[in-house]
C-alpha cells in the first residue's frame, strides 16, 4: 500500500487530495484508495463452524457415555475418527476463510481497479480493470452486515475478465464512491475525446 498518500480517517485505505482535478494521464497509476474487507464478512461462516465445533464434543460425550446406544468397540473407534476429522475440517475451513479475506486487496488508482486474491504468495493473482470500462456502480442493501457498519460496492464493467467487481466489507462505502465517480466521469470524457 502506498504510504506516501494520506490515510482515510476510517483507516480503510488511502486517498489523494487531488482526485478528479488535474487531467488524467493514461499511464498514471497513482494510488487513490486501497482497502481490505472486514472479517465481519466471515461472520456466518465462523458462526456455522463454531456451532459445529461445540456440537461435535457434545455428541462425542453422549456417545462415550452410551446416551445414544451401545455399539462395538470397532464402531466406537470409527466414530472417534470421524469426529476428529470433522473437527479438523471445521478449523481448516475457518482458517481458509480468514486467510482469504485477509489477503484480499482492492486498489483504485487514477486509471485502474486492481483486485488481489489468494491465500498465499504462490496462489495470489491480480485482476485489472480500466476505470473507463465501468458500466455502472451500485450500492446494494447491506443486510445483516449493515448492523456492524459494513457494506458492499458492486461495479459492473465491460471487462471480459471482471464483468462484476465486488468491493466487500467496506466501512465507508460512500467515501469510496466519492473517489471513484469523479475518476470514472473524467476518464470517460477524456478518452472519448482522445479516441475521437
Q: Could you tell me if 86 and 138 lie in one domain?
A: no
* CA atoms of 191 and 162, how far apart (whole Å): 20
- 142 CB-contact burial (10 Å; exposed 0-12 / middle 13-18 / buried 19+): middle
Which residue, 83, 99, 115, sits at the end of a domain? 99
Its domain, for residue 180, covers: 31-35+129-195
pTM metric for this prediction: 0.71
- Quick one: CA dihedral 142, 7, 107, 20, positive or negative? positive
What is the pLDDT at residue 23? 54
What domain count does the chain have?
2
4 in a domain, yes or no?
Answer: no
187 in a domain, yes or no?
Answer: yes
What is the pLDDT at residue 67? 60
Give the model confidence (pLDDT) of 17-70 as tens digits: 444 455 556 677 888 999 999 999 999 999 999 998 888 888 877 777 766 556
49 in a domain, yes or no?
Answer: yes
- Hey, what's the cell of 139? 450500492
Q: Could you tell me if 134 and 189 lie in one domain?
A: yes
136 in a domain, yes or no?
Answer: yes
- Hey, what's the cell of 49? 463452524
Instruction: Say which residue the cell 466489507 belongs to.
Output: 169
Instruction: Report residues of the chain scoring pLDDT below 70.
Output: 1-26, 66-71, 191-196
DSSP 25: P
Q: Could you tell me if 137 and 182 lie in one domain?
A: yes
26 in a domain, yes or no?
Answer: no
Residue pair 32/21 in contact by the 8 Å Cβ criterion: no
3 in a domain, yes or no?
Answer: no
What is the pLDDT at residue 88? 92
Amino acid at each position: 500500500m502506498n504510504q506516501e498518500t494520506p490515510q482515510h480517517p476510517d483507516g480503510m485505505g488511502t486517498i489523494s487530495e487531488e482526485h478528479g482535478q488535474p487531467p488524467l494521464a493514461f499511464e498514471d497509476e497513482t494510488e487513490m484508495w486501497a482497502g481490505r474487507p472486514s472479517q465481519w464478512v466471515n461472520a456466518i461462516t465462523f458462526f456455522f463452524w463454531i456451532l459445529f465445533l461445540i456440537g461435535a464434543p457434545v455428541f462425542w460425550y453422549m456417545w462415550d457415555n452410551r446416551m445414544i446406544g451401545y455399539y462395538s468397540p470397532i464402531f466406537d473407534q470409527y466414530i472417534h475418527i470421524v469426529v476428529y476429522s470433522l473437527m479438523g475440517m471445521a478449523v481448516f475451513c475457518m482458517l481458509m476463510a480468514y486467510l482469504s479475506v485477509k489477503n484480499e486487496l482492492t486498489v483504485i488508482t487514477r486509471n485502474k481497479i486492481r483486485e488481489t486474491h489468494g491465500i498465499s504468495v504462490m496462489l495470489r493473482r491480480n485482476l485489472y480493470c480500466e476505470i473507463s470500462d465501468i458500466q455502472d456502480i451500485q450500492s446494494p442493501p447491506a443486510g445483516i452486515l449493515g448492523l456492524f457498519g459494513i457494506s458492499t460496492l458492486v461495479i459492473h464493467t465491460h471487462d471480459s475478465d471482471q464483468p462484476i467487481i465486488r468491493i466487500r466489507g467496506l466501512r465507508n462505502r460512500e467515501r469510496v464512491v466519492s473517489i471513484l465517480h469523479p475518476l470514472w466521469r473524467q476518464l470517460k470524457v477524456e478518452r472519448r475525446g482522445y479516441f475521437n
